[in-house]
Structure formats: C-alpha cells, structure tokens
Amino acid sequence: MPTPEPESSVARAATRNRFADHEPISAATAGSASLLTQTLRIYLEDTDAGGIVYHASWLRFFERARTDWLRALGIEQSSLGPATGIGFVVRDMQIAFLRPGRLDQAIRTELRLAEARRASLLLTQNAFDAASGEELVRATVRIAALRLTDQRAAPLPRTLLAGLATRGALATET
C-alpha cells in the first residue's frame, strides 16, 4: 500500500479555519479505524446474581471509554465546564445486547467517531470478547455540547475539534 502524501500547510490552515468557524464536518474514516480501544475484566460488581454482566454495566463501560477518549484529546471534563461554560450530555443512544458478558471475562471495547456536527458527535461503541473477538454489545451514542447556563446547544469546543483533526479523524465536507 502506498504511503499517503503529507498534507500541505495550506490545506492544514484551511482545515483549521473551517473548524474555527464551526462549519459542518464529518468523519474522514468513519468506521475504518478505532479511535480508542480498551481491554478490561468483568468483576463481580458488574454482574447480576447469575454472573452475567448487568445491562447498566455496559453503559458504565462505554461512558468510561468516552471519558478516556476525551481525555486523550486533551479535554478533562471536570475543567471543561468552568473553563468554557460547555458540558457534554448523552442526547440519544441505541444499544443491542448481542451476547452475554460473564464474570472474569476479559473484554475489549472500541470507540469510533461516525459523524461530527456543529454541536454533537455520533459515536459507535462496541464490546468484544477479548479472547475470541466475538461481538457482545453494539451501541450508537450521540453526545451533545450544551451551554451550562441555559442547557441549550453550543458549538463543539475548539480543543476537541483540533484534537480530532490532529488525529486525522475529521475532514471538511465539500
């Protein structure tokens, strides 16, 4: 496979300017590369009396992945609100429980950016058995940026857009 040409400084500057103005953006490689992968073990606290992962535990696993993803992009949620007046909320979520997770099982979670809009991101999140690769849970999650003062939609923080652009996860729409 040929090595891609490096992006010119003019193209990078044009991209930065579009992000700064919060024009529509989209995932450059939607679904093609995981932006965050984590491996974790299922503990007793994550399961019901039968040793099966309780459904709400999957929500916690996915929330932790989103928080760690933001942190990897340079955004600490604890300081985002005080610094910018913006916070994130889950706007919408669809989740499919495909196979049960079990006590002591090692699982791998993956997070991908599917779409970026002016004030929200659509993410896909999956959980797999770490040994077999079998998919256990699949979710799509839309997180929205809100002004904390009035709970109304706000543009995504520039630091988030810059972090995504640096990692090649965003492309401007034509």
Residues marked active site are found at: 48
Q: Residue 139's CB: how many other CB atoms inside 10 A? A: 19
What b/e readout covers 28-60, taking b as 16+ CB neighbours within 10 angstroms? bebeeeebbebebebeeebbeeeeebeeebbbe
Contact 115, 137 (CB under 8 A): no
Which pair of tokens denotes residue 155?
């543009």
Q: Are 109 and 40 in contact (CB under 8 A)?
A: yes
- Cα separation, 69 vs 44, in Å, equals 25
Amino acid at 117: R
* Tokens matching residue 114: 């599917």
Check: CB of residue 170 under 8 Å from CB of residue 164: yes
